[in-house]
Amino acid sequence: MAFITASWNPLGDAFYRSTDLYEMSWSLRDGLRDSLVAAAPYGGPIALLREPQRRSPSSRPQLEIYSASGGTVASFPWKSGPVVQLGWTVSDELLCIQEDGTVLIYDLFGSFKRHFSMGQEVVQSQVMEAKVFHSPYGTGIAIVTSSSRFTLATNIDDLKLRRLPEVPGLQGKPSCWVVLTQDRQTKVLLSNGPELFILDNTSCTVVCPPGLSPQDGNIVHMSVSFSYKYLALLTDSGHLWTALLLHPFNLEFTCLPRCRRPKSQQPSVVLMWDRLLLVVGVCNETIQYPIEDPCVLVGEMDGVRIISSSNQELLQEVPLVCQDIFKIASMAPGALLLEAHREYEKSSQKADEYLREIKEQSMLGEAVRQCVEAAGHEYDTNTQKSLMRAASFGKCFLTDFSPDQFVTTCRELRVLNAVRDSSVGLPLTHTQFKQLTLQVLIDRLVYRQFYPLAIEVCRYLKIPDYQGVSRVLKHWASCKVQQKDLTDDAIARAVCMKVGDSPGVSYSDIAAKAYECGRAELAIKLLDFEARSGEQVPLLLKMKRSQLALSKAVESGDTDLGECFTGRSQPLQTGFCKLQEQETLKDLYNQDDDHQELANYYVTASYREKRLEGRLSLLQSAVDEYNKAKNEFAVKTTEDEMRLLRFQRKLDDEKGAGLLGLSLQVTMETLLSLGLHKQAEQLYKDFRVPDKRYWWLKLKSLAEKEEWDELEKFSKSKKSPIGYLAFVEVCIKCNNKYEAKKYVSKVTPEQKVKAHLAVGDLEGAADAAIERRNEAEIGAVLSRCSASNSLVIERLNRARAAIAKK
Amino acid sequence: MAAHLSYGRVNLNILREAARKELREFLDKCAGSKAIVWDEYLTGPFGLIAQYSLLKEHEVEKMFTLKNGRLPPADVKNIIFFVRPRLELMDIIADNITSEDRHHSSRDFHILFVPRRSMLCEQRLKEQGVLASFINIDEYILDLIPYDGDLLSMEYESAFRECYLENDQTSLYHTAKGLMTLQALYGTIPQIYGKGECARLVANMMLRMKREFAGSQNQILPVFDTLLLLDRNVDLLTPLATQLTYEGLIDEIYGISNGYVKLPPEKFAQKKQGEGSKDLPTEPKKLQLNSAEELYAEIRDKNFNAVGAALSKKAKIISAAFEERHNAKTVGEIKQFVSQLPHMQAARSSLANHTSIAELIKDITSAYIIQCFPIKSHYVNTYIEDCIAQKDPLIKILRLVCMQSVCNNGLKHKVMDYYKREILQTYGYEHILTLNNLEKAGLLKPQTGSRNNYPTIRKTLKLWMEDANEQNPNDISYVYSGYSPLSIRLTQILARPGWRSIEEVLKMLPGPHFEERQQLPSGLHKKRQQGENRTTLVFFLGGVTYAEIAALRFLSQVEDSGMEYVIATTKLINGTTWIKSLMDRPESPTQ
């Protein structure tokens, strides 16, 4: 433990340390010499193009992609033109900028994605140098051509090329240049000899940094810090000049105050020569690190990664909290707590002394916090553990201390240790991890196809499925469908098994991916799992599977989806057309050979027709269709209807009866009330109207018109199918007791009592009831008797008694 | 205002409040004074959600009915159209707006689709060239409307027709959506049972949608234990018979619409002689009917034959309460009596109203009533024949004919053709379309060779009870004076002893029966207290009658049932409105 500070080097008030990250697992034959190397920040992948300038067509350079720990990810011969610069985008895509200005984009696994050009004029003048830079809006590219013109693209995903104005007096490429970006602006800072220019969309301005005179020589190198906050210039006379960029675009410089009391991180500059690495601080002190082979420096937000052909180190300023704890003879509470715990493990009473000391200053909470925080900054797991244990030990003596920070740090450290493993190769510091966010970390794991680890992480950190596991599965499935060596069935099964019903995974997205890769059948299989029919339909339509799309739309029940189909020539479901015009509906039935519905359509239409001829012809069409539908009843009925219409028309013409459109029954009623008995009779016969109904009709009609003789004649025409009680009741209803009585005698025995009662003949009713020896009927008659009918009552009572006796 | 919604087992006021909140949010989106142009059909359902006062609070100053031509003048900044997504309504709106432009006003137009916006409609507005005139185009998702403390309705009139005649599942889609909304507010329903084709479809859609919305797991403790989805076509018979509960009869005779009934005014005019002169007797009396009214809640579900006794008992209690005043001696007692006066007066006027209604119903002849009883078919034939000959109302005939067909697994070919011919000759040939619809819906069908299952179903499920006790019911059959609705029997058996006991019968009924489980997040499993009742949401797809609701309320009240029911439906129906919804009336040529 005491040796932790062994790797520390003081620089002014600060300390710098270098931490070994990996023994690189690659085996590079020629080291990093003569190679174009691009390594992405945040522990990103490394791309390596050997001898990019070799132009003989016989030997193609090899483009290799490694993880940050040197594990091979992809390797392929470079078949395209000469490459000037390699770079990585924020979403781990590889940019290869060619001499002719073409930019080719590859994914992490070396498969080509797309390309674009940096402009026509570049093709002739050729790219001299190129730089890839990052801003909050994405990844950008800047190039300078042999005609000394700069072109910028601030976001390669939303490509807008900007050609910057000419730089006065610049011949060939500038001696050095950097891209500055802040907010939405991007500018180029360049030097030509001792002069410094700032170049933006419209102008080129000379800038004179204070304290840097032309005597200091030509500016040969410049570098801007990760945050675009600090600028360093190196002149050929060996002057190193650094400045805090207050506002990068006005280039207001403030000279850094010398040796300010350190409470914040101090800027420092790392310079690398062939065999020497130099860290220069503002306090004019330096640290020297000898190096053996060519290295690549990767700027991170909190340090610099030094990648050599054999290993990788992280050079960073020791975080303050770690300084506090590990600095020799430190009396910071954290340091004391660590010591206390160490003694405690040795079962030494000194533990108590240390603890007391902290507690006397009431700094125990602070001590715990320091230990936890420091653990986050440590790379070595043993150091992490001892710090966390110390924190946990200290926590025991605190009553109301929120465990949140402790728990979170524990979890995050586990995740970080897992991704730092050289098999994964994401050497993230805790600070970088916080900046990158967990979401992005998971994305990066997914890009690298570490699906199981990503899922583990999601589960371990209890990320809601929607943002966690599901997202991983979605990527996995999209990748799975591209595996050419598996059958559609196998893939569909595998996808379905893994993804199942995971919330938020859109099968249609996966299917769309499959379709993109030319696997339409697989896409259809996958779409079957899609929950949202709304999502299925558009893709199916795109795949020209209209029939299937239609049935899916129907299945969804969302009528509105039917919208997708209007204007397509294919059988539509009526449900969708209900809202449309009637005519469309007719065409549909026609297409479907749905004769029954077509006939019904004609019937409906016939009622909208004003002219009789039109109406009849529509009905005839209906008859034809009913015939085709083999609906005999409907054929017959519709023919009847036509017959009735013609009949009504004829009578309307002859007698002005106003019958057209009336029902058969009402027509007969009207005829009878008009006295047209013969015509009514004709309808009765022609339409085979049941006797019962006709008798009722005629009975009511005659009674209403008080044609009593006619009625009597009618009653005698044959035996009444509706009996004669009806006659009695109808007559009574028309207030003709006299006529009613005529029919009482004809009534069947069962209805006699009722008939007598209807005409108010109590005696007759009594006689009938007694004769029939029916108790209920006797009761009915009794209930109608009043006191004046004492005789009848007596008789009835006697009869009832007689029945009861039996 | 809607306190009665929160008294039930499930506080349905939450749903109403959610709906109101959304409405308020939309109204506030259109800043400034506004006028609403109503699709008239929507006013009823909206009345159950928000009164005019709510609209007024949000600067709604005028209300119009949607119709062709120029909009009535109104000095407001915003014109909001509240419409169903129907093409013909879009044409009217377009007409409104084009005639508006000529009168160069600078009013803002908005459109609120209820219950869902539709691409088709927007397309239509675009074709008419008015789509750009709208500042806001929004949808107001009003699927399930709280109707009473235990009753939800979608007020979707054409649901049955669309599903069974037109093969259009829009209503089912809305049902599923509505159930999702309900689950969002009341927690995931762990068990879903169903019977029927549509039930299966709705359950499928729900499960689909659950997958779709899955990310955000519902963390609400489930209020409903079970959801039962029932197709109307599983039980076609019940609505055909005349409901014999008090509420059912009011609906059968006068029609209850959105909780209101309009009654002939004569009976009510006499009651209030003092102030009666103001009431024009020609204006129908409009009464709100829901459980907020204590007396109504008490008698609504009784068999009508038991209502008289209940009313006279109530009358005695009320007059006894008024008599109390003679016993009030001390100032304190008098004060207490006075404080109860408003309540007592309300009770008295409520009693007067219901006595009048009961008298009105009693006057309607028994010929009106269609009852479901085992009668020999040739008697039925003659009866129907006579009814047609006497030209009874067509709907009554159709109800009778359909009932005979359903009970006998179809009609003999000859009988059916005879009925059809009789109907067409008597009521007009245009009804061929209606008859065709009834056949399509399965209400009317020719007998085929297959066995008539109905007697088995009837016996197994004990649908016809000889001696229904109308006064103190002991079985659900009291709601139809001896006939138990099949739908409710299925619900009852599901609760106990379970559907497994009637597998055979279930197979005879149309459509599949099924059970689905929805996974609950751990920690949301209910810990049931001893004796705590379970709650089932019964959803009738295609409509439910008041008598069926009464039967379910009866089951909720049976002490040892251990189950309480909340009822939801696409539409509250009775035989008349139901058959009407299946009728086709071609427009006459001349009128």
CB–CB contact B421 A603 (8 Å): no
CB–CB contact A722 B176 (8 Å): no
Instruction: Count how many Cα atoms sit within 13 Å of the Cα of residue A409 in the half-sphere of its side chain.
Output: 25
Judge contact between A391 and A406, C-beta under 8 A. Answer: yes
Residues of A in contact with B590 (CB under 8 A): 610, 661
Say whether the ipTM exceeds 0.85.
Answer: no
Secondary structure of residue A8 in the 3-state scheme: strand
Q: Which residues 6+ apart lie within 8 Å of B6 measured at CB?
A: B12, B13, B149
Judge contact between A680 and A647, C-beta under 8 A. Answer: no
Query: Per the domain annotation, does A773 fall within a domain?
Result: no
Q: What pLDDT is recorded for position B202? A: 92
Nearest CA in chain A to B86: A579
pLDDT confidence band for B423 (50 / 70 / 90) = very high
Of A566, A607, A696, the CB nearest to B589: A607
Each as own residue / partner, the long-range contacts of residues B520-528 (CB below 8 Å, 24 or more positions apart, any chain) are: B520/B188, B520/B190, B520/B222, B521/B217, B521/B218, B521/B219, B524/B187, B524/B188, B524/B219, B524/B220, B524/B221, B524/B222, B526/B221, B526/B222, B526/B225
CA distance B224 to B564: 10
Q: Per-residue DSSP letters for B553-586?
A: HHHHHSGGG-EEEEEEES-B--HHHHHHHH---P
Residues of A in contact with B215 (CB under 8 A): 464-466, 470, 503-504
Any bridge partners for residue A253, and if so which?
A245
Secondary structure of residue A191 in the 3-state scheme: strand
CB–CB contact B120 A608 (8 Å): no
Longest dimension (CA), chain A: 153
Considering only residues 202 to 221 of chain B, which have any Cβ-Cβ distance to chain A shorter than 8 Å? 205, 208-212, 214-217
Judge contact between B434 and A637, C-beta under 8 A. Answer: no
Strand order through the sheet with B285-288: B256-257, B260-263, B285-288
CB neighbours of residue A458 within 10 Å: 22
Q: Is the dihedral of CA A624, A625, A631, A634 positive or negative?
A: negative
CB–CB contact A637 B589 (8 Å): no
Q: Domain residues for B193? A: 143-235+487-583
Judge contact between A88 and A62, C-beta under 8 A. Answer: no
Same domain for A436 and A535, yes or no, is yes
CA distance B225 to A487: 44
CB–CB contact A665 B426 (8 Å): yes
Query: Per the domain annotation, does B551 fall within a domain?
Result: yes
Judge contact between B216 and A466, C-beta under 8 A. Answer: yes
The residue written with tokens 């599949």 in the block is B512
CA distance A381 to A379: 6
| DSSP state for residue B66 in the 8-state scheme | -
Same domain for B73 and B158, yes or no, is no
Of B116, B162, B433, the CB nearest to A600: B433
Q: Which of B142, B170, B186 is at the close of a domain?
A: B142
CB–CB contact B432 A638 (8 Å): yes
Secondary structure of residue A203 in the 3-state scheme: coil
Each as own residue / partner, the long-range contacts of residues A657-666 (CB below 8 Å, 24 or more positions apart, any chain) are: A660/A612, A661/B588, A661/B589, A661/B590, A662/B428, A663/B424, A663/B425, A663/B426, A663/B427, A663/B428, A663/B429, A664/A640, A664/A689, A664/B424, A664/B425, A664/B426, A665/A693, A665/A697, A665/B391, A665/B425, A665/B426, A665/B427
The closest of A368, A446, A462, A447 to A412, measured between CA atoms, is: A462
Same domain for B330 and B250, yes or no, is yes
Q: What pLDDT is recorded for position A524? A: 81
Both tokens of residue A287? 């640290």
Of A575, A609, A633, the CB nearest to B167: A575
CB–CB contact A559 B391 (8 Å): no
Same domain for B111 and B27, yes or no, is yes
Same domain for A179 and A303, yes or no, is no
Q: Which residues 6+ apart lie within 8 Å of A170 measured at CB?
A: A148, A190, A192
pLDDT in tens, B48-81: 888 888 888 888 998 999 988 888 888 888 899 9
| DSSP state for residue A320 in the 8-state scheme | H
- Is residue A238's pLDDT more than 80? no
Same domain for A307 and A369, yes or no, is no
Same domain for A276 and A374, yes or no, is no
CA distance A431 to A416: 11
Any bridge partners for residue B205, and if so which?
none
The closest of A322, A325, A403, A389 to A358, measured between CA atoms, is: A325
Provide the CA A665 distance to its chain's centre, in angstroms: 64
Same domain for A301 and A424, yes or no, is no
Average pLDDT, stretch A115-131?
A: 87
B388 part of contact set with chain A, CB < 8 Å: yes
Judge contact between A59 and A411, C-beta under 8 A. Answer: no
Same domain for B13 and B102, yes or no, is yes
Same domain for B120 and B9, yes or no, is yes
Rounded to two decimals, the pTM is 0.66
Of B170, B214, B425, the CB nearest to A687: B425
Any bridge partners for residue A150, and if so which?
A144
For the domain that residue B409 is a member of, what is the CATH number? 1.25.40.850
Report which residue type is found at B90. Answer: M
Query: Per the domain annotation, does A759 fall within a domain?
Result: no
pLDDT confidence band for A56 (50 / 70 / 90) = low
CA distance A32 to A11: 29
Residues of A in contact with B584 (CB under 8 A): 604
Q: What pLDDT is recorded for position B226? A: 93
Number of domains in chain A: 3
Report which residue type is found at A138. Answer: G
Q: Is the model more confident about B562 or about A86?
A: A86
CA distance B212 to B230: 24
Same domain for B562 and B505, yes or no, is yes
Query: Per the domain annotation, does B345 fall within a domain?
Result: yes
Both tokens of residue A138? 């994405």
Residues of B in contact with A663 (CB under 8 A): 424-429
Secondary structure of residue A287 in the 3-state scheme: strand
Any bridge partners for residue A179, and if so which?
A188
Q: Which of A226, A253, A280 is at the close of a domain?
A: A253
The stretches of B105-191 forming alpha helices (DSSP H) are 119-127, 159-164, 170-186
Residues of A in contact with B422 (CB under 8 A): 690, 693
Nearest CA in chain A to B119: A560
Same domain for A218 and A308, yes or no, is no
Q: Is the dihedral of CA A477, A483, A486, A488 positive or negative?
A: positive
Peptide bond into B115 cis (omega under 30): yes
Both tokens of residue A728? 């009695």
Both tokens of residue B261? 């009934």
Residues of A in contact with B168 (CB under 8 A): 559, 574-575, 578
B127 part of contact set with chain A, CB < 8 Å: no
pLDDT in tens, A66-112: 998 888 888 888 888 888 889 999 888 999 998 888 999 998 888 88
Q: Which residues 6+ apart lie within 8 Å of B509 measured at CB?
A: B195, B196, B234, B457, B486
Query: Per the domain annotation, does A398 fall within a domain?
Result: yes
CB neighbours of residue A172 within 10 Å: 11
Query: Per the domain annotation, does A179 fall within a domain?
Result: yes
CB–CB contact A559 B168 (8 Å): yes
Same domain for B27 and B137, yes or no, is yes
Q: Which of B367, B399, B414 is at the close of a domain?
A: B367
pLDDT in tens, A155-202: 888 888 888 888 888 888 888 888 888 767 888 888 888 888 888 888
Phi-psi region of B285 (alpha: psi -120 to 50; beta: other; left: phi over 0): beta
| DSSP state for residue B302 in the 8-state scheme | S
Q: What pLDDT is recorded for position A83? A: 87
Same domain for B566 and B508, yes or no, is yes
A503 part of contact set with chain B, CB < 8 Å: yes
CB–CB contact B211 A638 (8 Å): no
Query: Per the domain annotation, does A104 fall within a domain?
Result: no
Query: Per the domain annotation, does A490 fall within a domain?
Result: yes
Query: Per the domain annotation, does B278 fall within a domain?
Result: no
Query: Per the domain annotation, does A295 fall within a domain?
Result: yes
Same domain for A436 and A548, yes or no, is yes
A141 part of contact set with chain B, CB < 8 Å: no
B89 part of contact set with chain A, CB < 8 Å: no
Judge contact between A116 and A159, C-beta under 8 A. Answer: yes
Residues of A in contact with B430 (CB under 8 A): 603, 607
B589 part of contact set with chain A, CB < 8 Å: yes
Considering only residues 515 to 544 of chain B, which have any Cβ-Cβ distance to chain A shorter than 8 Å? none
Same domain for A547 and A431, yes or no, is yes
Query: Per the domain annotation, does B272 fall within a domain?
Result: no
Same domain for A428 and A464, yes or no, is yes
Q: What pLDDT is recorded for position A560? A: 61
Same domain for A274 and A241, yes or no, is no
pLDDT confidence band for A579 (50 / 70 / 90) = very low
A533 part of contact set with chain B, CB < 8 Å: yes
B381 part of contact set with chain A, CB < 8 Å: no
Residues of A in contact with B205 (CB under 8 A): 556-557
CA distance B110 to B91: 15
Query: Per the domain annotation, does B539 fall within a domain?
Result: yes
A614 part of contact set with chain B, CB < 8 Å: no
Q: Domain residues for A198? A: 175-253
Considering only residues 662 to 701 of chain A, which have any Cβ-Cβ distance to chain B shorter than 8 Å? 662-665, 687, 689-690, 692-693, 696-697
Same domain for A427 and A517, yes or no, is yes
Same domain for B114 and B182, yes or no, is no
For the domain that residue B306 is a member of, what is the CATH number? 3.90.830.10
CA distance A253 to A226: 17
B116 part of contact set with chain A, CB < 8 Å: yes
Same domain for B351 and B390, yes or no, is no
> Percentage of chain A surpassing pLDDT 70?
89
Q: Which of A521-530, B219-228, B331-340, B474-483 has the lowest mean pLDDT?
A: A521-530
Query: Per the domain annotation, does A417 fall within a domain?
Result: yes
Same domain for B189 and B305, yes or no, is no
Q: Which of B302, B337, B367 is at the close of a domain?
A: B367
Number of domains in chain B: 4
CA distance A102 to A112: 14
Report which residue type is found at B371. Answer: Q
CB–CB contact B422 A693 (8 Å): yes
Instruction: Say how many CB pairs under 8 Å bridge A and B.
Output: 140
pLDDT in tens, A648-693: 999 888 888 788 888 999 999 899 888 888 889 899 999 999 888 8
Q: What pLDDT is recorded for position A554? A: 62
Look over chain A and give the mean of its residue pLDDT values, rounded to a whole number. 82
Q: Is the model more confident about A734 or about B535?
A: B535
Average pLDDT, stretch B283-302?
A: 89
CA distance B486 to B423: 29
CA distance B155 to B44: 9
Three-class SS of B496-550: CCCHHHHHHHHHHCCCCEEEEECCCCCCCCCCCCCCCCEEEEEEEECCECHHHHH
Same domain for B60 and B125, yes or no, is yes
- Is residue A422's pLDDT more than 90? no
Query: Per the domain annotation, does B159 fall within a domain?
Result: yes
Judge contact between A334 and A361, C-beta under 8 A. Answer: no
Same domain for A311 and A243, yes or no, is no
Query: Per the domain annotation, does B132 fall within a domain?
Result: yes
Q: What pLDDT is recorded for position B548? A: 95
Among A637, A683, A696, pick the best mutation site for testing chain B contact (most B Cβ within 10 A). Answer: A637
Peptide bond into A262 cis (omega under 30): no
Residues of B in contact with A690 (CB under 8 A): 385, 389, 422
Q: Per-residue DSSP letters for A558-589?
A: -GGGGGGGTT--SPPPHHHHTTS-HHHHHHHH
CB–CB contact A663 B428 (8 Å): yes
Among B125, B432, B437, B582, pick the best mutation site for testing chain A contact (most A Cβ within 10 A). Answer: B432
The closest of B183, B148, B153, B192 to B171, measured between CA atoms, is: B153
Nearest CA in chain B to A563: B120
Nearest CA in chain A to B214: A503
